[in-house]
A and B are shown apart, each in its own frame.
Chain A
Amino acid sequence: MTSLLRYQFINYLRTYKYVPPFSIFVLCLVVNYTFIPNPILDSYSFTAIILFFLMGWFTVTLFHAEDEGQKVITTLHAKSRTQYNLGIFMICVLIGLFLSCISVIYPTLIGAFGEKPRFIHQLLGFLSHFSLSVLAIALSAIFTRELVKNKQNTWWGILGILIVSVVIATLKETILQIKGLIWLLPPVRLSLEMMGSEDSIATIPNIFYWRFVWIFVYSSLVVLLFFLLSNRKRR
């Protein structure tokens, strides 16, 4: 598995397909913290949403980093399609983890906030970035070539699902009227709600942890669906 991860990562680096999303990420981070002081949780919430969209970009380019023919060859050497896809998911998550850490550490280092962020600010900041990254990876993977034949459908699909996920976060009241629907929709709203807390927050309520857990569980279920559909496609 380590060899597969190493190969997929080096191959991705050599494609340079990560340059556009990474540049936009750096640009957003720099521009967002140009003027100081900034509110802590609000700023983190904004960069988490940016990362949410950019992780969709990273995910597609990672899944499409190899030629179609080479993908078949690598899958054969890896001896399993699940193993191959798992490798890509792991690299996506590692990129999400790295960028989440940068998003939290960078403004702290340059003193971009009005007050010095406490540990709970940073923990909430990290969890919101990382949970939304993982959610974006899971949702985007469904529209990659592994499951969707047409490349155009991939980009429209991913853009659509990510935008809809954010839009429905603002339509919570309407959606709550349809029983059960709220559990089906991507839980971006949970992160936004939590990050809407005041900077003066003293402790992280237990419910917050459960909400983050739900975002991770929801993402895992989508990834599971990806693997089910992918293995079904083989037949």
Chain B
Amino acid sequence: MNTIMEIQNISKQYRDKKIIENATFSICANQIIALVGKNGSGKSTLLKIIVELVDADSGSIVKHRQSLKIGYVPEVTPSHILFTPEEYLYHMGSIRGMAKKQLQQKINNLLELFHLEEARNIQIVNFSKGMKQKVMIMQAMLEDTDLLILDEPLSGLDPKAQRDLEETLSVLKDKGLSIVLTCHETKLLQHLVDTVLVIHNNKILQANSLNNNDLPKNKLMFEISSMKLLDNLLPLLEIQQQSLLNNGCHKVIAVIKTEDTDQVLLDLLQKKSSIKQLSPINQKEEQFYTHF
């Protein structure tokens, strides 16, 4: 993959408290990276270091393109923007030093891309949070942005707005943008993100991919009259939980390999067991969510 930026051994501390320690990773073109970790783990600080809002104590950021354009959307969406989207984007673009004609063209394109043409003359202060978030992403894309940095982009949005924004991010990815974001929204991580970087104890611990949804195992919930009936299945079952029900049956939750599932189900049904639930599980995913 074509690397556009490398973060090398970045460390940061505030008043003797370590925030980030030797963070190292690469950002490739057309890649979406999610930085995850508990509150206060240093995700936002790392993003601010990438956009040069905060200086790192040590380490370096290497840009592999001469004029790599980075757009940034902060965690807190401004609630009192006293301009219409058109005025606001025009001001932001002018402050960047963009030429009037080019800027106007870009604003029109962005309003179309984000489906906000009809709201172009409405004050942003009257927008929903989802629409405000879109305007925030638009301002970050005024110039032909290569890398978009989003701090908690879905935070506080209702499910519809989240879906909407997820679609928008997907379109941006298709347009060739690289995106680094922090988030807690599991849905976004599952459907959109290519690489997940987990920050734990100030360090970037692992880089997992969630997109290759390999499903090695299934979770099975069933009821059976006697646990003894399971004796022949025990080598195939990884029993996680069992309890005695009022009707004298046993409720069992177990994990089974995908390849053994048909055989186990057939055997259980023959033993008059009642299957309550069967669902695929992604161990990587489960392991990953323990970091939130």
A46-54, A72-80, A137-145, A170-178 - interface stretch: A72-80
Checking B77, B82, B94 against A69 with a beta-carbon cut-off of 8 angstroms, the contacting residue is B77
Checking A11, A76, A78, A235 against B82 with a beta-carbon cut-off of 8 angstroms, the contacting residue is A11
Residues of A in contact, count (CB < 8 Å): 23
Q: Measured between alpha carbons, how far is A74 from B53 in the docked complex, in Å?
A: 12
Q: From residue 53 to 97 of chain A, which have CB atoms closer than 8 A to chain B?
A: 66-70, 72-79
Known: A234-B55, A235-B55. A7 touches B78 (CB 8 A): no
B62 an interface residue at 8 Å Cβ cutoff? no
Q: Are B72 and A67 in contact (CB under 8 A)?
A: no
Known: A3-B95, A4-B95. A69 touches B54 (CB 8 A): no
Residues of B in contact, count (CB < 8 Å): 24
B91 an interface residue at 8 Å Cβ cutoff? yes
Known: A14-B82, A67-B81, A234-B54. A74 touches B92 (CB 8 A): yes
Q: Are B80 and A73 in contact (CB under 8 A)?
A: no
Which residue from chain A places its CB closest to the CB of B87 in the assembled complex?
A10
Over the window 175-188 of chain B, the binary record of Cβ atoms lying under 8 Å from chain A Cβ atoms (1 yes, 0 no) is 00000000000000
Q: Are B92 and A77 in contact (CB under 8 A)?
A: yes
Which residue from chain A places its CB closest to the CB of B77 in the assembled complex?
A69
Over the window 72-115 of chain B, the binary record of Cβ atoms lying under 8 Å from chain A Cβ atoms (1 yes, 0 no) is 10111111111100000001111111000000000000000000
B116 an interface residue at 8 Å Cβ cutoff? no
Over the window 57-72 of chain B, the binary record of Cβ atoms lying under 8 Å from chain A Cβ atoms (1 yes, 0 no) is 0000000000000001
B207 an interface residue at 8 Å Cβ cutoff? no
- Residues in B with CB closer than 8 Å to A234 are 53-55
Q: Are A73 and B74 in contact (CB under 8 A)?
A: yes
B195 an interface residue at 8 Å Cβ cutoff? no
- A228 to nearest B CB, angstroms? 15
Which residue from chain A places its CB closest to the CB of B54 in the assembled complex?
A234
Q: Are B91 and A7 in contact (CB under 8 A)?
A: yes
- B264 to nearest A CB, angstroms? 53
Over the window 93-111 of chain A, the binary record of Cβ atoms lying under 8 Å from chain B Cβ atoms (1 yes, 0 no) is 0000000000000000000
Q: Measured between alpha carbons, how far is A74 from B78 in the docked complex, in Å?
A: 11
Known: A72-B53, A234-B54. A77 touches B96 (CB 8 A): yes
B172 an interface residue at 8 Å Cβ cutoff? no
B30 an interface residue at 8 Å Cβ cutoff? no
Q: Measured between alpha carbons, how far is A110 from B238 in the docked complex, in Å?
A: 95
Which residue from chain B places its CB closest to the CB of A12 in the assembled complex?
B82
Q: Measured between alpha carbons, how far is A78 from B77 in the docked complex, in Å?
A: 19
Q: Measured between alpha carbons, how far is A189 from B94 in the docked complex, in Å?
A: 43
Q: Are A66 and B78 in contact (CB under 8 A)?
A: yes
- B160 to nearest A CB, angstroms? 23
Task: Pull 28 A–B residue pairs with CB atoms less than 8 Å apart, ordered by A.
Answer: A3-B91, A3-B95, A3-B97, A7-B92, A10-B91, A11-B82, A11-B83, A15-B80, A15-B82, A67-B76, A67-B78, A67-B79, A68-B78, A69-B74, A69-B76, A69-B77, A69-B78, A70-B78, A70-B80, A70-B81, A73-B92, A73-B136, A75-B53, A76-B51, A77-B92, A77-B96, A78-B95, A79-B96
A-side interface residues toward B, CB under 8 Å? 3-4, 6-7, 10-11, 14-15, 66-70, 72-79, 234-235
B-side interface residues toward A, CB under 8 Å? 51, 53-55, 72, 74-83, 91-97, 136, 139
8 A-B pairs closest in CB distance: A3-B94, A67-B78, A70-B78, A14-B82, A69-B76, A7-B91, A77-B95, A69-B78
